[in-house]
C-alpha cells in the first residue's frame, strides 16, 4: 500500500498545519497534506468533533503536491479528531489510502484499514486564559504542614488529637498502624504548625521561593487532612485562624503568595457534616439525622450504614457536587468557603481530584475567584488533561474559565523515564511536544510543574540518590514552561518511597547542602533568564542527548542533557521536532562537536 503513494503530514510543522497546537473557537485552522502519486482522484479531510458526526471534506489542490483546507472551528470548544483519505486511480480502479497519526505524535503514517486509523487531535478552547503575572513568574514550595516545622517553645504540640500518637523524635521514619483490613487505626503526628511555616519564611525567601502551596489545613482527623471535618476552621493542631492570618500577612509583606488545597469531593466520616461518632452532637450531621441540613449532600444506599464513599473508603463519604446547597456552601455566596478564605488573603486554590468535580462546580469556583483580583485556580490531574475521560465524561476543564492550569505529573514521568533510561531522548521529546500541542498555550504555560509531591516517591530516591541525575532533573523542572514547585525537603535530599515514607519531617540542621546548592543554582538561572518565563519552546534530540530550547526573537537558552554514564559528543545533526528557524540553526552550529560529560548537561545561551 505504501508504494502506491508518498504522503506526508506533520502537525508540528507549519507547512502542514497552522497554527501549531490548540486553536481558539471561531478561528481558522489550515491543514495541508503532501501527496505524490501518479493519478490522484481525491484527497479528503475526515474530521469530527468529539462524540459527534463525522464530516468528509474535499481538500483543494495547491501548488506542487499539496492539498489544503481551512477548517472553521465554529462548533464550540472541545476536541476535534481528523485523518485523511487519498483516493488513487490504480489500473482503472479507485483505491483508498488512509493516513492518520502515529501514537508518539508528529509525522503521520499510512494505515491499512479503518480500524487501524489513529486520529490526529485538535484542541479547540473557548478563550485565552493567562494566569496572574505573580503566578507565572513564581517559584513555589509545597508544604505538608505536619511535617515542616513546629515553632512553639520547646516543640510543645498544639491541641493533640484523641486516639493518635506522636513520634518520639523528629528523625523517626513515618509508619502507619493498620488493622487486617488495611485501615489506619491511629493517626501519627510530628506536630508541625502554621507558626512554624511563618518562622521559616526567611529560609524560603533565601532559597528563592515566591509562593507556598499548602496541603490541607482545615480541621480534620488525619495528619494529611484530606478528610475535612470543618471547612471553615483551621485544624487546632496547626493553630488558630489568627495564626493563619499572621502567616498570610507575613508572606504578603515578603512579596510571597499562598495557595490552599481545596478538598471538595469528600469529607471525613467524623466531620460536622456527617458525624458518625457524634462528636458534633448526638443529632447533628447527615449520618445521625435525616433532617440535617447536610443530609442531601450525601448519597445513602441503606441509611445510615451504607453510603457512597471515595474509592470505597468508608472514612471518606463522597459529596454530591451537583447539590445546590453544597455548591452554595463552597462557592455560591459571600459567606462561602472560597469567599471566606480568599477574603482573608489566599491567592489561589489547588483543587484536589479535579477529575471528580463537575465542570459546573469548577466553573462556579472560578467565577467566585474572578470577583477578586489576581487569583489562580489549579487542578490535580495526573494525565494529559486535554483528553481526559473521567466517569465516562470528557473533561473540558482546561478549555477556558475553569482551571488556569493543572499539576504537571507528565513532566515528572518524562524526567524520570529519561534519567533512568526507561525511554529514549526521542521518545521523551515527542511526549513533551505532544503535550505542548494538545494544551491551550496559556494552560501549558500555567501548569504547576513538579518532580515530586506528597503522592509520589521522593525524586532523590527514584534517581538512586545520584547527585548528577538530581542536577539534571532540577534543571528540567526550572527551564520547562510552567511554574516550578518544590516539594518540601527535596531541596535538601530527603529520601523516601511511597506514602508514608515520602512524608518525613524536614531535616532541620541535617540538610544535604550539595543538593540545596543545586536548587539555588537553577533558581538563579530561572530568575535571571526572562525567556524561561514566557519564551517559545522547542525540543530536540540525538540518539543519546535530549534538548530543551526556550527563545524569544534572538534571545535564547538551550539545555542539553546527557542522561547516560558515558560522555557524548554532538557529532550528528540535532533533530528539532517543531519548526526550525534562525535560533535552532545557530544552536546546531554552536553545539557541533561539543562534548558533554556523563550524566551531565551543557547550557547554551545567547548571552554566552
pLDDT digits (tens, 9 = 90+) for 428-452: 999 999 999 999 999 999 999 999 9
* Nearest C-alpha neighbor of 599 from the set 573, 548, 560, 557: 560
Q: Which of 572, 569, 545 is nearest to 558 (CA)?
A: 545
Within this chain, domains 2-125 and 534-605 share the same CATH topology? yes
In the chain, what percentage of residues exceed pLDDT 70? 99
How confident is the model at residue 4, as a pLDDT?
A: 67
Percent of the chain with pLDDT over 90: 96
Rg (CA), the chain: 27
- Can you give the pTM of this predicted structure? 0.97
The pLDDT confidence band at residue 112, using thresholds 50, 70 and 90, is confident
Exposure on the CB side of residue 1, measured as CA atoms within 13 A: 13
Residue ranges of domains in the chain: 2-125, 266-318, 534-605
Contact in structure between 451 and 136 (CB atoms under 8 Å):
no
Give the pLDDT confidence score for residue 1 in this predicted structure: 43
Reported for 52-59, long-range contacts at CB under 8 A and 24+ positions apart, including other chains, are 56/85, 59/31, 59/33, 59/84
Residue 476's contacts (CB-CB under 8 Å, 6 or more residues apart) are 411, 415, 451, 548, 559, 561
Cα angle value 301/302/304 (rounded, 5°): 110
Cis check for the bond before 304: say yes or no (omega within 30 of 0): yes
What tens digit of pLDDT does each residue of 506-542 get? 999 999 999 999 999 999 999 999 999 999 999 999 9
Using DSSP, state whether 603 is helix, strand or coil.
Answer: strand
Q: What is the mean pLDDT of residues 83-107?
A: 93
CATH number of the structural domain 2-125: 2.60.40.10
Question: Three-state DSSP class for 134?
Answer: helix
In this prediction, residue 436 carries a pLDDT of 99
Q: Where is 472: in which H helix or E strand?
A: helix 467-479
Give the burial string for 359-390 (b: 16+ CB within 10 Å, else e). Answer: eebbbbbbebbeeeeebbbbbbbbebbbebee
Give the confidence band of 2 by pLDDT, cuts at 50, 70, 90: very low
- In this prediction, residue 562 has a pLDDT band, given cuts at 50, 70 and 90, of very high
Strand (E) or helix (H) holding 436: helix 425-438
Nine cell digits for residue 556: 535564547
pLDDT at residue 286 is higher than 60? yes
Query: Hey, is 442 helix, strand or coil?
Result: helix
99: Cβ contacts below 8 Å, ≥ 6 apart = 7, 9, 33, 83, 84, 85, 86, 108, 109, 110, 111
* Preceding amide of 134 cis, omega within 30: no
Q: Give the pLDDT of residue 339.
A: 99
Residues 6+ apart with CB under 8 A from 585: none
| Class of residue 58 by CB neighbours under 10 A (exposed 0-12, middle 13-18, buried 19+) | exposed
Phi first, then psi: give them for residue 70, nearest 5 degrees. Answer: -100, 110
**CATH fold for the domain made of 534-605:** Immunoglobulin-like (2.60.40)
- Is the pLDDT at 3 greater than 70, yes or no? no
C-alpha cell read off for 250: 507575613
How many other C-beta atoms are found inside a 10 Å radius of the C-beta of residue 469? 23
pLDDT in tens, 142-197: 999 999 999 999 999 999 999 999 999 999 999 999 999 899 999 999 999 999 99
Amino acid at each position: 500500500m505504501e508504494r502506491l503513494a508518498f504522503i506526508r503530514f506533520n502537525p508540528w510543522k507549519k507547512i502542514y498545519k497552522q497554527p501549531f497546537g490548540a486553536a481558539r473557537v471561531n478561528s481558522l485552522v489550515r491543514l495541508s497534506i503532501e501527496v505524490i502519486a501518479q493519478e490522484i482522484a481525491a484527497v479528503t479531510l475526515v474530521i469530527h468533533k468529539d462524540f459527534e458526526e463525522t464530516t468528509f471534506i474535499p481538500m483543494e489542490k495547491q501548488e506542487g503536491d499539496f492539498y489544503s483546507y481551512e477548517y472553521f472551528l465554529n462548533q464550540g470548544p472541545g476536541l476535534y479528531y481528523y485523518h485523511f483519505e487519498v483516493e488513487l486511480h490504480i489500473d482503472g480502479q479507485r483505491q483508498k489510502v488512509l493516513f492518520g497519526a502515529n501514537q508518539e505524535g508528529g509525522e503521520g503514517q499510512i494505515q491499512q484499514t479503518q480500524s487501524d486509523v489513529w486520529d490526529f487531535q485538535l484542541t479547540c478552547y473557548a478563550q485565552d486564559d493567562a494566569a496572574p503575572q505573580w503566578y507565572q513568574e513564581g517559584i513555589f514550595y509545597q508544604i505538608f504542614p505536619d511535617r515542616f516545622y513546629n515553632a512553639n517553645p520547646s516543640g510543645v504540640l498544639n491541641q493533640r488529637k484523641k486516639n493518635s500518637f506522636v513520634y518520639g523524635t523528629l528523625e523517626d521514619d513515618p509508619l502507619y498502624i493498620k488493622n487486617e483490613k488495611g485501615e489506619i487505626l491511629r493517626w501519627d503526628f510530628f506536630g508541625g504548625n502554621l507558626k512554624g511555616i511563618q518562622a521559616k519564611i526567611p529560609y524560603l525567601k533565601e532559597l528563592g521561593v515566591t509562593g507556598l502551596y499548602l496541603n490541607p489545613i482545615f480541621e480534620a482527623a488525619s495528619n494529611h487532612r484530606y478528610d475535612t471535618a470543618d471547612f471553615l476552621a483551621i485544624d487546632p493542631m496547626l493553630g488558630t485562624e489568627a495564626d493563619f492570618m499572621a502567616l498570610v500577612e507575613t508572606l504578603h509583606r515578603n512579596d510571597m503568595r499562598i495557595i490552599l488545597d481545596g478538598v471538595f469531593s469528600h469529607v471525613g466520616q467524623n466531620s460536622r457534616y456527617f458525624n458518625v461518632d457524634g462528636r458534633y452532637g448526638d443529632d447533628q450531621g447527615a449520618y445521625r439525622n435525616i433532617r440535617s441540613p447536610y443530609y442531601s449532600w450525601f448519597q445513602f444506599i441503606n441509611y445510615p450504614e451504607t453510603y457512597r464513599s471515595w474509592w470505597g473508603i468508608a472514612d471518606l463519604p463522597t459529596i454530591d457536587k451537583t447539590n445546590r446547597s453544597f455548591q452554595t456552601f463552597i462557592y455560591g455566596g459571600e459567606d462561602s468557603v472560597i469567599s471566606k478564605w480568599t477574603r482573608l488573603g489566599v491567592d489561589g486554590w489547588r483543587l484536589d481530584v479535579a477529575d471528580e468535580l463537575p465542570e459546573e462546580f469548577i466553573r462556579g469556583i472560578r467565577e467566585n475567584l474572578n470577583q477578586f483580583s489576581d487569583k489562580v485556580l489549579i487542578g490535580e490531574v495526573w494525565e494529559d488533561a486535554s483528553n481526559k475521560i473521567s466517569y465516562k465524561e470528557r473533561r473540558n476543564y482546561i478549555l477556558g474559565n475553569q482551571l488556569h492550569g493543572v499539576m504537571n505529573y507528565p513532566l515528572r514521568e518524562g524526567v524520570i523515564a529519561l534519567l533512568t533510561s526507561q525511554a529514549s531522548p526521542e521518545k521523551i521529546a515527542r511526549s513533551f511536544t505532544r503535550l505542548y500541542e494538545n494544551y491551550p498555550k496559556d494552560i501549558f504555560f500555567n501548569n504547576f510543574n513538579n518532580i515530586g509531591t506528597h503522592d509520589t516517591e521522593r525524586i532523590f530516591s527514584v534517581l538512586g540518590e545520584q547527585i548528577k541525575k538530581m542536577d539534571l532533573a532540577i534543571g528540567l523542572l526550572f527551564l520547562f514552561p510552567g511554574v516550578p514547585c518544590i516539594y518540601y525537603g527535596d531541596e535538601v535530599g530527603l529520601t523516601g518511597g511511597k506514602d508514608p515514607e515520602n512524608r518525613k519531617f524536614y531535616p532541620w540542621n541535617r540538610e544535604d547542602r550539595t543538593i540545596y546548592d543545586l536548587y539555588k543554582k537553577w533558581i538563579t538561572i530561572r530568575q535571571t533568564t526572562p525567556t524561561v518565563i514566557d519564551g517559545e519552546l522547542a525540543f530536540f534530540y540525538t540518539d543519546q542527548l535530549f534538548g530543551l530550547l526556550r527563545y524569544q526573537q534572538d534571545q535564547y537558552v538551550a539545555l542539553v542533557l546527557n542522561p547516560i554514564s558515558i560522555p557524548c559528543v554532538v557529532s550528528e545533526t540535532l533533530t528539532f521536532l517543531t519548526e526550525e528557524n534562525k535560533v535552532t540553526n545557530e544552536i546546531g552550529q554552536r553545539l557541533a562537536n561539543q562534548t558533554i560529560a556523563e550524566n551531565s548537561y551543557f547550557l547554551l545561551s545567547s548571552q554566552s
